Amino acid sequence: MMNKNQIATAYFELAKYICNALSEIDGLSTFVPDKWEREAGGGGVTHTLENGRIIEKGGVAFSAVHGEVSEAMKKNLNMKGEQFFATGVSIVLHSRHPRHPIIHMNVRYFELDENTWWFGGGIDLTPHFIREQDAICFHQELKKYCDAFDSTFYPRFKPWADEYFFQPHRGESRGVGGIFFDHIGAESGHSRAELFHFCEGLGRLFPIVYGQQIEANPIVSQPSDEELLWQQIRRSRYVEFNLLHDRGTKFGIYSGGRTESILLSMPPQASWRYCFEPEPTSEEGITLNFLRNPPDWISLK
């Protein structure tokens, strides 16, 4: 039976594994580790890659922290307990080329006092330009992986992502969704070790699905000014999601977490224009329409 320290160690190894796999995809830059300690207990290693060939700015953050449940945590996370332990790996990659997507992954494990534990996590894809076949491929991979473990997971976790990654103030989804789950514990019918292996496998799947998206969109030319502008606009929506809505970001900021690790998800650059509205028939307009009226991708195949 796995304990929390074994899970933390395995997550640390997972982060290193993912860094190596992503560095191979990038082919130019590698991740630089930055170790930090948390005064109130624990710490982490934040790996960053800047100015790569494929990845313009990417972060792979591992952390394992513990301590007393603060008032802010009780209020913001509705946590009923005194002592907590949390470990996880969190990733955001901002691709250099507008034809390559932004992608995010997170797996985490949580313990409250002696007897409460759960896993959470997810993967979601945010293309600057949405192509149906890429979104379908992405969801097929996630479904295949989930189904092999528990056929109830994808049908539960896919709509959970749709709900979580929706931006009410824009009336848009952040991207083409993916899977999202939280508070998955023993009541799922799976042991702690089994759920850990599900999360670890999801982490190992991550560089594979990112690589698929890159390969499916080979770069044949430099991006146009229009493509770059649209990328910057899409990135600004990513900023809005993470600073206005993302629970992890908000909780981290409000509870005094390590700012540079929490805001690793910020893009290298983002643009805002007043009432920017692309032509409905342009590729930008088609992407926006997908975000405003998200299809059930898997049923389109």
What are the residue numbers of the active site? 104
Binders of a copy of itself among residues 117 to 136 (CB under 8 A) are none
Residue 86 to residue 65: CA distance in whole angstroms: 5
Binders of a copy of itself among residues 20 to 49 (CB under 8 A) are 34, 46, 48
* Alpha carbon separation from 33 to 44, 128, 229 (Å, rounded): 10, 28, 31
Residue 290 to residue 172: CA distance in whole angstroms: 9
Which neighbouring-strand residues pair with 117? 111
Instruction: Note whether 124 and 158 are within 8 A (CB).
Output: no
**Between 148 and 244, CB nearer to a copy of itself:** 244
Residue 30 to residue 92: CA distance in whole angstroms: 15
- Neighbouring CB atoms inside 10 A of 127's CB total 24
Among 186, 208, 219, 244, interactor with a copy of itself by CB under 8 A: 244
Min CB(267)–a copy of itself separation in Å: 6
Instruction: Note whether 90 and 185 are within 8 A (CB).
Output: no
Residue 228 in the binding site for a copy of itself (CB under 8 A): no
Residue 270 in the binding site for a copy of itself (CB under 8 A): yes
Instruction: Note whether 139 and 213 are within 8 A (CB).
Output: no
- Stretches 72-80, 96-104, 137-145, 237-245: which one binds a copy of itself (CB under 8 A)? 237-245
Helix axes of 132-149 and 153-164: crossing angle, nearest 10 degrees: 130
Min CB(223)–a copy of itself separation in Å: 16
Residue 59 in the binding site for a copy of itself (CB under 8 A): yes
Residue 272 in the binding site for a copy of itself (CB under 8 A): yes
Min CB(259)–a copy of itself separation in Å: 5
Residue 193 in the binding site for a copy of itself (CB under 8 A): no
CA 168 distance to own-chain centroid:
19
Min CB(119)–a copy of itself separation in Å: 27
Min CB(156)–a copy of itself separation in Å: 28
Residue window 156-175: x/- pattern of binding to a copy of itself, with contact defined by CB under 8 A = ------------xxx-----
User: Alpha helices of 62-172 — where are they, by DSSP H?
Assistant: 71-77, 132-149, 153-164
DSSP 299: G
- Single out the residue of 39, 35, 40 nearest to residue 63, CA to CA: 35
Residue 56 to residue 93: CA distance in whole angstroms: 8
Residue 295 to residue 136: CA distance in whole angstroms: 10
- Stretches 70-78, 82-90, 200-208, 266-274: which one binds a copy of itself (CB under 8 A)? 266-274
User: What number of chain residues touch a copy of itself (CB under 8 A)?
Assistant: 33
**Between 183 and 273, CB nearer to a copy of itself:** 273
Among 10, 44, 57, 297, interactor with a copy of itself by CB under 8 A: 57
Among 56, 111, 134, 240, interactor with a copy of itself by CB under 8 A: 240
**Between 56 and 162, CB nearer to a copy of itself:** 56
Amino acid occupying residue 39:
E
Contact residues for a copy of itself (CB under 8 A)? 34, 46, 48, 50, 57, 59, 168-170, 232, 236, 239-240, 243-244, 250, 253, 256, 259-260, 262-264, 266-275
